Amino acid sequence: MGTVGYLDTCVTARWVGRRAGSGDLAQGEWGRALCTGDASWLGKHSTQSGGSGDSRCRQLAWCSSYVPIMLRGLPSTASLARFCQKLNRLKPLEESTMETSLRRCLSTLDLTLLGVGGMVGSGLYVLTGTVAKQMAGPAVLLSFAVAAVASLLSALCYAEFGARLPRTGSAYLFTYVSMGELWAFLIGWNVLLEYLIGGAAVARAWSGYLDAMFNHRIHNFTEAYVGTWQVPLLAHYPDFLAAGIIILASVFISCGARVSSWLNHTFSVVSLVIILFIIILGFILARPHNWSAEEGGFAPFGFSGIMAGTATCFYAFVGFDVIAASSEEARNPKQAVPVAITISLGLAAGAYILVSTVLTLMVPWHSLDPDSALADAFYRRGYSWAGFIVAAGSICAMNTVLLSSLFSLPRIVYAMAVDGLFFQVFAQVHPRTQVPMAGILVFGGLMTCLALLLDLEALVQFLSIGTLLAYTFVATSIIVLRFQRTPPSSSSGPASPDPSVKEYHSFSDHIQLVGTEQDLAPEPGQLRPALRPYLGFLGRYSPGAAVAWALGILVASAITLACVLVFGDSALHLPYGGYILLLLLSSVMFLFSLLILGAHQQRRQQDTFQIPMVPLTPALSILLNICLMLKLSYLTWLRFSIWLLIVSHNSCRARRVFWLWHLAQQRESAGVARADHHTLRGVPQHQPGGDGTDCAAPQPAALPGAQPTSP
C-alpha cells in the first residue's frame, strides 16, 4: 500500500489497530501507541515482525506522528488562522528569473507568430459566420472590435506581467505572485480547462472544414458505419478525424520548442497570405445591398445582440496569452513579450474585422452557413476555386491554433507541478528536447477525448467564461502588484528542505516581486504626500490597507454596475426609479474606488514594460470582462459553476494528495522512509504549495524517545 496510502487512510487509531494488529498483539495496544506516539513500543514490536509486517510496522510508526494531529477533533482558532494564512501565501521570485530548465530559444518574431497563430484560426473561419447569423448580423464587425478592445486591456496586463516575470504559467503565475495560492490554484485549473477546450474546439472545426472539402463524405461515412448520438452536450457523432489531428500535433510538440516554432511559422505564413487573398477578393465581390433594411439592416439583433456576439467573439482572441506562457523560453522576454503581444493582437483584430466585413457584404447574413461561412460564400458567388483555397487556408490557420494550445497546456501543468500544486512527474523535463513530456502525453490524451465526444458550440461558450475569468484575475493582480509595499528584510515564512523551492509568504506580508525597484518616498501603498492635506483620514491606515478596501469596493461595484447595464430594469424586476438609483450608486462607488486607488503611491520600474493609466486601465478591463461574462447563456454559467464546485470541493483533497506524493518521493530518494530498531527518522518539511489534510501540512512533533539517525 505504501507510505502515501497509510498516511491517507490512518484516520482513527481503532481502524489502524484492526489493520495492523496480528497474532498476540492487541489491537488496542496499537491504537494506544499510535495515539500517544509511543515510539519505544512501536519500535519494539516493529522489530518483532518480519517480512511484510516489518514494512507495515515501520510505516505505521512513521505515521504515528501524524495520527494525534488528525485525531484532535475540531481545529482550533490558531489552526484556522494558519489555514487561512496558507491559502493567502504568495510566491516570490527572488533570484534571476532568466535561469530555467527549459531552453530559451524563441525570438520576438517567434513569439509574434505564435500569438498570431493562436488567435487567427477557427474564430476567423467558423465564429464569423456563427456570430453573424445567430447573434449580431453584419454588426459582427462591431462585436469583434469591442472584443478586441477588451482583449487589448487584458493583453496589456499580460504584457506587463510577462515582461516582469518571464516564467511559464501565464494567469496562474500572475495570480500566485499577487493574490495568493488558493486563487492561483483555481485559476490554474481554469487555464488548463481553457487550453483543453480551445484545442478540442479547434480540432473539431478543423475536421469540419476538411470534411466540407470532400463534400461531407467523412461525416456521412461516420454516421453510416458508426452511428449517431442523441445525448445532450455530446456531439452528434464521434469525430475520429479531430482526435487524430490532436495526436499528430502532440507528436510534433514533443519534439521541442524549435520544431514547434518552425512548424508554426510555416502554417502562420500560409494563413496570413490566404487571409489577405480573402480580404481583397471579398471587397471585389462586395454588395452593399446586403446591409440594407430589406435584408434586415446592419444590426438586426440590436445592441444586445452585438454584446452577446462580443462575448462569443472573445474566443477569437484568447490566443495572445500563449506568448506569456512561452516567456520562459524567450531569449529576451522583457522586450519580446510586450512587443509580441501588441503586434499579434493588432494583426488578429484587423484580420477579424476586415474578414467579417467582406463576408457579410458578399452574402446576406441570414443565408450564411455557420459551419463553413467563408468557403460557402465563395462557392455561392461562383468562385469554387476560391472556396477551395479558403478551406485549405482555414486548415492551416487552425493548425496554428491547435499547436499553440498544445504548446501552452503542458507548460501550465509544468508550472503548477514545480510549485507543488500538481504531481511532480509533470515537473520533469525531457533531457534532450527540454519539454515537459508527461504533460504533453497526458493532457494531449484528454484533449483528444474532448474533441472526440463534445459539441463545438458548448465548447466555445464554456471557453469564453473561463478565459474572461482569467482576464479578470490578471487585471486585478496588476492593481495589487502596483500597490504592494516592500516587505521587511527578514521573513518568518516556513523553511523549505529543497533549495530550489522559494519561501512563500502570506498576502498580508506584501511580497516584493523580482525586479529593479527604486527607493520611493513614500512607500508603495501609502497616500501621496500632495493629497495628505485633503485625504488625511486615509493616512491613518497602514500601507496597503486602504488600497485593499478600495480594490474590494471596485470589484463589488463593477459586478453591480455590470448587472445593471447588461440586464436592465425589466430583468432585475426593479422600478425605473430604483433602477436609476442603483445605476448611479454603483457608478459612484466604482469611480470613488478608482479615486482612492489613484490617491496612493504606485510601484514604478524603469527597466520593464508597465501599462499606462493604472488603476483605470485594469479597472475598465475588469468591468468589461464582467459584462461579457453576464452576456453568456445560463447553460454556460451552469456548466462553469459545476466545474468550479468540483474544483473547489476537491481543492484541499487534491492539494493534500499532491503534498503526500511529493513527501513520499522525497523520503524514498533520501532514504529516510525507514525505522532502525528503536529509532525513527525525522520527517522532512513540506514543500510550499502542497498541503496536508487541512491544506496546510502540519509539522509533526518528534516522537518520545526518537532520535535522528545518520544516513
pLDDT the model gives residue 667: 53
Instruction: Decide: 365 and 137 in contact? Cβ < 8 Å.
Output: yes
**Are 138 and 284 members of one domain?**
yes
Contacts of 608 (CB under 8 A, 6+ apart): 160, 163, 164, 334, 515
Q: What is the pTM of this model?
A: 0.73
Q: 2-11, 222-231, 313-322, 619-628: which has the minimum mean pLDDT?
A: 2-11
User: Which tens digits make up the pLDDT trace of 234-254?
Assistant: 777 788 888 899 999 999 998
**Are 26 and 147 members of one domain?**
no
Average pLDDT over residues 23-30: 48
Task: Tell me the range of 26-40, 111-125, 687-701 where mean pLDDT is highest.
Answer: 111-125
Q: Residue 639's Cα: distance from chain center in Å? A: 17
Reference 128, options 292, 441, 325, 348; nearest CA is 348
pLDDT the model gives residue 352: 92
Rounded to the nearest 10°, the torsion over CA 481, 482, 488, 491 is: 0
Choose between 550 and 232: higher pLDDT. Answer: 550
Q: 219-233, 410-424, 641-655: which has the minimum mean pLDDT?
A: 641-655
Q: 133-137, 536-540, 605-609, 661-665: which has the minimum mean pLDDT?
A: 661-665
pLDDT the model gives residue 431: 85
User: Which tens digits make up the pLDDT trace of 109-122?
Assistant: 989 988 888 888 76
| Residue 563 forms part of a structural domain | no
pLDDT the model gives residue 475: 92
| Residue 633 forms part of a structural domain | no
Residue 694 banded pLDDT, cuts 50, 70, 90 = very low
User: Which tens digits make up the pLDDT trace of 263-274?
Assistant: 888 998 898 999
Q: 223-232, 410-419, 618-627, 672-681: which has the minimum mean pLDDT?
A: 672-681
Give the CATH number for residue 335.
Answer: 1.20.1740.10
Query: Residue 698 above 60 pLDDT?
Result: no
For the record, the C-alpha cell of 130 comes out as: 456563427
Query: Residue 390 above 80 pLDDT?
Result: yes
Q: 18-22, 480-484, 609-613: which has the minimum mean pLDDT?
A: 18-22
Choose between 244 and 660: higher pLDDT. Answer: 244
| Residue 100 forms part of a structural domain | no
Look at the alpha carbons of 343, 349, 352, 358 in this order and tell me if their dihedral is positive or negative: negative
pLDDT the model gives residue 650: 56
- Indicate the residue among 438, 453, 483 that finishes a domain: 483
**Are 66 and 128 members of one domain?**
no
* DSSP per-residue codes, 576-630: HHHHHHHHHHHHHHHHHHHHHHHTB-----SSS---SSTTHHHHHHHHHHHHHHH
Rounded to the nearest 10°, the torsion over CA 251, 253, 257, 261 is: 110
Q: How many CB atoms lie within 10 A of CB 553?
A: 17
**Are 128 and 40 members of one domain?**
no
pLDDT the model gives residue 648: 62
Query: Residue 321 above 80 pLDDT?
Result: yes
Query: Residue 696 above 60 pLDDT?
Result: no
Query: Residue 327 above 80 pLDDT?
Result: yes
| Residue 509 forms part of a structural domain | no
User: Which tens digits make up the pLDDT trace of 153-170?
Assistant: 999 999 988 888 888 888
**Are 33 and 158 members of one domain?**
no
Number of domains forming the structure of the chain: 2
| Residue 527 forms part of a structural domain | no
Residue carrying C-alpha cell 487541512: 694
pLDDT the model gives residue 401: 85
Classify burial at 77, counting beta carbons within 10 Å of its beta carbon; exposed 0-12, middle 13-18, buried 19 or more: exposed
pLDDT the model gives residue 486: 55
Query: Residue 404 above 80 pLDDT?
Result: yes
**Are 69 and 114 members of one domain?**
no
| Residue 435 forms part of a structural domain | yes
Dist. CA 155–CA 161, nearest whole Å: 10
pLDDT the model gives residue 415: 87
Query: Residue 331 above 50 pLDDT?
Result: yes
Dist. CA 374–CA 126, nearest whole Å: 8
pLDDT the model gives residue 342: 92
Dist. CA 225–CA 227, nearest whole Å: 6
For the record, the C-alpha cell of 584 comes out as: 448611479
Residue 357 banded pLDDT, cuts 50, 70, 90 = very high
Instruction: Decide: 511 and 92 in contact? Cβ < 8 Å.
Output: yes
Instruction: Decide: 485 and 544 in contact? Cβ < 8 Å.
Output: yes
Contacts of 562 (CB under 8 A, 6+ apart): 623, 626, 627, 630
**Are 143 and 44 members of one domain?**
no
**Are 59 and 115 members of one domain?**
no
* Percent of the residues in the chain that have a pLDDT greater than 70, as a whole number: 69
Please write down the HEC assignment for all residues of 458-515.
HHHHHHHHHHHHHHHHHHHHHHHHHHCCCCCCCCCCCCCCCCCCCCCECHHHCCCCCC
Domain, as residue range, for 18: 1-73+649-711
Please state, in angstroms and as integers, the Cα–Cα distance from residue 241 to each residue in 218, 237, 497, 678, 682, following that order: 9, 11, 48, 62, 54
**Are 20 and 142 members of one domain?**
no
| Residue 381 forms part of a structural domain | yes
What's the whole-number average pLDDT of the chain?
74
Instruction: Decide: 405 and 242 in contact? Cβ < 8 Å.
Output: no
Average pLDDT over residues 275-298: 87
Average pLDDT over residues 96-123: 79
Beta bridge partners of 454: 234
Q: 107-121, 190-204, 445-459, 554-568: which has the minimum mean pLDDT?
A: 445-459
pLDDT the model gives residue 385: 84
- Indicate the residue among 449, 483, 517 that finishes a domain: 483
Query: Residue 609 above 80 pLDDT?
Result: yes
Choose between 226 and 650: higher pLDDT. Answer: 226
Task: Tell me the range of 87-91, 184-188, 633-637 where mean pLDDT is highest.
Answer: 184-188
pLDDT the model gives residue 621: 92
Reference 656, options 688, 684, 693; nearest CA is 693
For the record, the C-alpha cell of 59 comes out as: 510505516
Alpha-helix runs per DSSP H in 216-330 = 217-225, 240-253, 257-284, 302-313, 321-325
* Percent of the residues in the chain that have a pLDDT greater than 90, as a whole number: 13
Please state, in angstroms and as integers, the Cα–Cα distance from residue 658 to each residue in 62, 652, 663, 696, following that order: 19, 10, 9, 12
For the record, the C-alpha cell of 671 comes out as: 532514504
For the record, the C-alpha cell of 419 comes out as: 510549485
Contacts of 555 (CB under 8 A, 6+ apart): 476, 622
pLDDT the model gives residue 256: 84
Dist. CA 193–CA 171, nearest whole Å: 13
**Are 388 and 451 members of one domain?**
yes
**Are 36 and 149 members of one domain?**
no
| Residue 560 forms part of a structural domain | no
pLDDT the model gives residue 507: 44
**Are 136 and 200 members of one domain?**
yes
- Indicate the residue among 462, 483, 504 that finishes a domain: 483
